[in-house]
Structure 1
Amino acid sequence: MEGARKHLGRLVRLIPDSPTSPETAAIKTFFNHRLTADSASAREEWLDIVEARHRLWSGIPSEKRELIRSFLNNINLEIVKRARPTSVFNFQSASVGNLFLTGARLFTGSFESAIYLLGAITGVPNNVNVIPAINSNFSHHISAGLEDGTVITGQNAISHPSAPSSSVGSSASTLPSYTQDQHDIVPDSALTHHHRKFSTELSAHDRIEDANLPGSLPTLRKQYITFLKTHTEALPSPISRIWYINPYGQEIRPAPNPKVLDSINAASCVIYSIGSLYTSILPCMILRGVGEAVRNGGGYGGPQFKILILNGSLDRETRAAGGYEFGARDFIAAIAKACKGSVGSAVGEDTDVEDEREFRNYVTHVIHLQGQGTPRVEKEELGVLGIETVKIYGRRDDGGEGMVYDGAALGQALEAIIGRRDDRPGRSRRNTLGVS
């Protein structure tokens, strides 16, 4: 439910806050709710929700309650149908909203339809569209290549591994071979030890009856239920690039949802929103043709404004061992590299942006905070490249590192930038696309 998780967060934030509407508040609380952290208690809580006995239903009118329940029952039926002695669904910390989206997707056969349904039930404004970057009923996974040659497989292992063993993958030179005869007598080495360990882990997972194809990478089958996004082990080397993989670890190049390209071509502004750079933003940009649409969508040089809202702190993806930390220029370089690589580079090819003046084709403005823990901003260097920087007010993040944006100040900064008139044909300054 990885795709569901990402879109749910955006949808819930779009639900209007209405102090005068208890129904809206109750629905928002319902879809934002997570089951308890104890698996047995979580299963009991889930059954209370499905059977309409849970306190969360208070304040939700009966017609919406029964509509929501129908899709929750649909996913519950699928869970029960797939249950095996070796594979039982773990409800620990499961999101009710994610379960609803999955149930709606299974019923309609379309993830877009599931998103539309949730938006309609929750009252998301009609002028706001949440578009999945890939409109598919199948899971899509990514791998990250570090500058030292290490490859990390799976979004969770890249961003917030739940165990040290999954924090770092195998290097490119020691990826497991699926054709090697395991009975060959070869000198014992780190490579053969890795092959044996991988083969043992793969066999153990293949004995489990679940929805994964036989032979799928074990790391993609692991449940990442308990993790902390803070205090994770630093990467041994900075991330060089990311790519999509199939269940067997081979690189693929998926096509984007056509609506994504249409939206970029019609937009006067693209906003790279706050979020994880390599596991949230760039997976959207490396899809075929997306980077070219940002650079030259509609034949007018792309959207006039391409705004990066710089994160208020660094995370595991934007720092590495030895004190290496990303600055604004590194964020922009990563975005430009991903966009350029989406145009048509061969699978496995690492595409660099040789001329930094090309950065402005993908980012024209950077909005940022200043304070302890925030990424550095190379204002003068970016100015030479034609990229404007806008510093705004923020506050300390009490629950973690860095700073947090003030919503009003951020809105004013965006309005000040986007409010500049765009006279190019077919452009509307109110047509804004956010990428996150």
Structure 2
Amino acid sequence: MNCRHIAVFSGGSAANSLVDVFGKVAVDESCSLSYIIPISDNGGSSSELIRVFGGPGIGDVRSRLVRLIPETPSSPEKAAIKSFFNHRLSPIPDAARIEWLSIIEATHPLWIHIPSSTRELIRSFLLTLNLEIVKRHRPSSIFSFQSASVGNLFLTGARLFTGSFDSSIYLLAAITGLPDTTNVIPAINSNFSHHISAGLADGTIITGQNSISHPSAPSATSSNTVPPATNIEVLQEIGIESPSTNTRRFSLELSQHDGVEDANLPGSLPTLRKQYIEFAKEDPEDLASRIERIWYINPYGQEIRPAPNPAVLESLSKASCVMYSIGSLYTSIIPCLVLRDVGAAIANPGIKVKIFILNGSLDRETRSLNTGAFSAADFVRAISDACDSSRGRKGEWREYVTHVIYLAGEGTPRVDKEELAEKGIECVRIYGRKNTSGGGMIYDTGALTGALEAILGSPKRGGERRGEKSRRNTVDENGGIIRKAVDRG
């Protein structure tokens, strides 16, 4: 296959482990590469930036940009810049503020090995952000630097200075020397926040990405100084005579948040206005029922259908291959797919290969208490449903996914090859190694690279045909190199 361009749908941290794979395949196939990244995250330090400044959730975009920074042993500058933008401030609020001051005053050790010309350019945007923080300081709303990502702070400062999210990404890419053949594209190019909701099979609606994937209580920091309202007199003051318990709770919370001067519109859903700086990514409780649908909402919780970043459609229009990376299905991949016209762009017959890389384990989004774990077909069905929603009509699964790459082993999703074959989807099994820290299996980069190039018909791999088996170096469960066949059946 003559590959012109590869478009990869992915989130941030999970897919970062495969960036070298995607980069090598693009180089071997002599084609350009783009990453399409969601901007709906409202957890972690992004939640505080959104609360005070508004704007998109930039954590996943920053994570991918920093991961792509090229490093060489002869260039300590690149390693220093990478460490700088990856750095998080102290988890203790007061210590984090002091650390921030040492960064903008250029006395922090992070600046060592960063040339003065680069340092002063970076500082100028951090100083812009610092000025905006001071301007927005109110008794009811004090910005918290707790666990803040320096890369997120830079992107926010650059966005506020230029008035453009796209320009802030360009600045970070230029400063860090990202290759011209690789682009990081936010799914929506906007200076406004975009949030998602999830509808479960039992009728439950969960609002906000953090609540969907990592449910947690709002962080207790010094920035929320509004005292809680707890008595019926307060309810009567805001015009509620005999509310139900839920209405009372919601109205009290709404009145409290409306008393805070931040970037949120009055009347916005309280769930979208809270700090979620602290949350546990590991082992959240299972959902009571399966997620059936993801949609975007306005600040009041009403469904909207935003348009994608025009660069997303441009990337898909020139793509010969689309890949769906590992990561959170409903909060990393599907928020990109449900945007208007994205489904139709993926279904374009000109994109010959559409590869879904199946997760090596299950998470909160793909298992539930009453319906159990997702199979590979459930993953593909979710992708197809999201693309159908974007497209406005029903399509065939094969219009969106032509191949599924998966791992075999304990804790991995069940792969129903016969069902997928009936849909015209080819399954390719490769071997990985056990994930000793989180359960399931993780991909071996060499084996995955070989499988992707075999599907793309790379001359370097001999272009195996359907039904053939090709020899690959893979790893066993103990990490040793073994020789096994890639099952293309």
The two structures share one fold, judged by TM-score above 0.5: yes
**What amino acid is the match of 2:347?**
R
The alpha carbon displacement at 1:323 in A equals 6.1
SS in 2 for 1:145: strand
Of 379, 391, 405, the match for 1:343:
391
Q: Give distance in 1, aligned partners of 2:207 and 2:350.
A: 33
Match of residue 248 from structure 1: 300
**Matched-pair contact (CA < 8 Å) for 2:308–2:342:** yes
Q: Which residue of 1 aligns with 2:102?
A: 48
Where in structure 1 are there 5+ consecutive unaligned residues?
A: 166-180, 187-191, 346-352, 423-436
CA distance in 2, matches of 1:16, 1:57: 18
TM normalised by structure 2 equals 0.76
Residue 283 of structure 1 deviates from its aligned partner by: 0.6
1:382 Cα deviation after fit: 1.1
Inter-partner Cα distance in structure 1 for 2:58 and 2:85:
12
Q: Hey, what's the Cα distance between the residues in 2 that align with 1:69 and 1:393?
A: 46
Q: Secondary structure at the match of 1:242?
A: strand
* Number of positions where the alignment pairs a residue of Structure 1 with one of Structure 2: 388
Residue matched to 2:318: 266
- Structure 2 counterpart of 1:163, which letter? A
Amino acid at match of 2:302: Q
2:415 is aligned with 1:377: yes
> Mapping of 1:11-160 within 5 angstroms?
11-160=65-214
Aligned to 1:213: 265
State the identity %: 66
SS in 2 for 1:376: coil
Contact 1:366 1:388 in 2 (8 A): yes
Q: Distance in 2 between matches of 1:388 and 1:13?
A: 31
Task: Return the alpha-carbon distance in structure 1 between the equivalents of residues 102 and 431 of structure 2.
Answer: 44
For 2:345 and 2:458, how far apart are their aligned partners in 1?
A: 21
Aligned mates of 2:208, 2:256 — CA distance in 1: 19
Displacement of 1:19 in angstroms is: 2.2
Task: Give the whole-Å Cα distance in 2 for the aligned partners of 1:407 and 1:29.
Answer: 24
Alpha-carbon distance between aligned partners in 1 of 2:151 and 2:380, rounded to the nearest angstrom: 33
1:360 aligned residue (395, 398, 412): 398
Relative to structure 1, the CA distance from residue 302 to residue 290 in structure 2 (aligned partners, 3 Å threshold; closer, same or farther) is: farther
Give the Cα–Cα distance (whole angstroms) in 2 for the partners of residues 17 and 389 of structure 1: 35
Work out the CA distance in 2 between the residues paired with 1:68 and 1:183. Answer: 50
Counterpart residue number, 2:217:
163
1:209 partner SS: coil
Q: Does 1:393 align with 2:447?
A: no
Deviations 1:190-236 (CA, angstroms, capped at 9, x unpaired): xx211111001101111111111111100001111111122211111
- Contact 1:294–1:302 (Cα < 8 Å) also in 2: no
Q: Is the 8 A contact 2:289 2:371 kept in 1?
A: no
Answer 1 or 2: higher relative contact order, Cα 8 Å, separation at least 6.
Answer: 2
User: Could you tell me which residue of structure 2 aligns to residue 410 of structure 1?
Assistant: 448
Take 1:197 and 1:140, find their aligned partners in 2: how far apart are those partners?
25
The letter of the residue matching 1:398 is T
Secondary structure of 1:23's aligned partner: helix
Q: How large is the RMSD of aligned CA atoms in angstroms? A: 1.9
Does the CA contact (< 8 Å) of 2:290 and 2:371 recur in 1?
no
* Local SS of the residue matching 2:433: strand
Return the offset for 1:182: 5.2
Q: Distance in 1 between matches of 2:147 and 2:436?
A: 24
Q: Which residue of 1 aligns with 2:364?
A: 316
Is residue 346 of structure 2 the alignment partner of residue 303 of structure 1? no
The 4+ residue runs of structure 1 with deviation greater than 6 A are none
Q: Which amino acid aligns with 1:330?
A: D
Indicate conservation of the 8 Å contact 1:161/1:224, yes or no.
Answer: no
Report the Cα distance in structure 2 between the residues aligned to 1:36 and 1:397, rounded to whole angstroms.
29
Indicate conservation of the 8 Å contact 1:87/1:209, yes or no.
yes
Q: Which residue of 1 aligns with 2:40?
A: none
The one of 336, 339, 342 equivalent to 1:290 is 342
Alpha-carbon distance in 2 for matches of 1:278, 1:267: 23
Counterpart of 2:17 in structure 1 is none
Q: How far has the Cα of 1:302 moved from its partner?
A: 4.2
Answer with 12-21 or 113-122: which moved more: 12-21
Q: Aligned equivalents of 2:319 and 2:216: distance in 1?
A: 39
- Tell me the alpha carbon deviations over residues 166-203 of structure 1, each in whole angstroms, 9 at most, x when there is no partner: xxxxxxxxxxxxxxx954557xxxxx211111001101
1:57 to 1:384, Cα distance in 2 relative to 1, 3 A: same
Deviation at 1:290, TM superposition (A): 0.3
Look up the SS of the partner of 1:401 in the other structure: coil
Counterpart in the other structure of 1:239: 291
Q: Structure 1 length normalisation: TM-score?
A: 0.86
SS of residue in 2 equivalent to 1:267? coil
Separation in structure 2 between the aligned mates of residue 29 and residue 415 of structure 1, nearest angstrom: 32
Note if contact 1:230-1:315 (Cα within 8 Å) is conserved in structure 2. Answer: no
Equivalent residues of 2:253, 2:270 under 8 A apart: yes
Measure the CA separation in 2 of the matches of 1:381 and 1:80: 58
Cα separation, partners in 2 of 1:368 and 1:105, compared to 1, 3 Å:
same
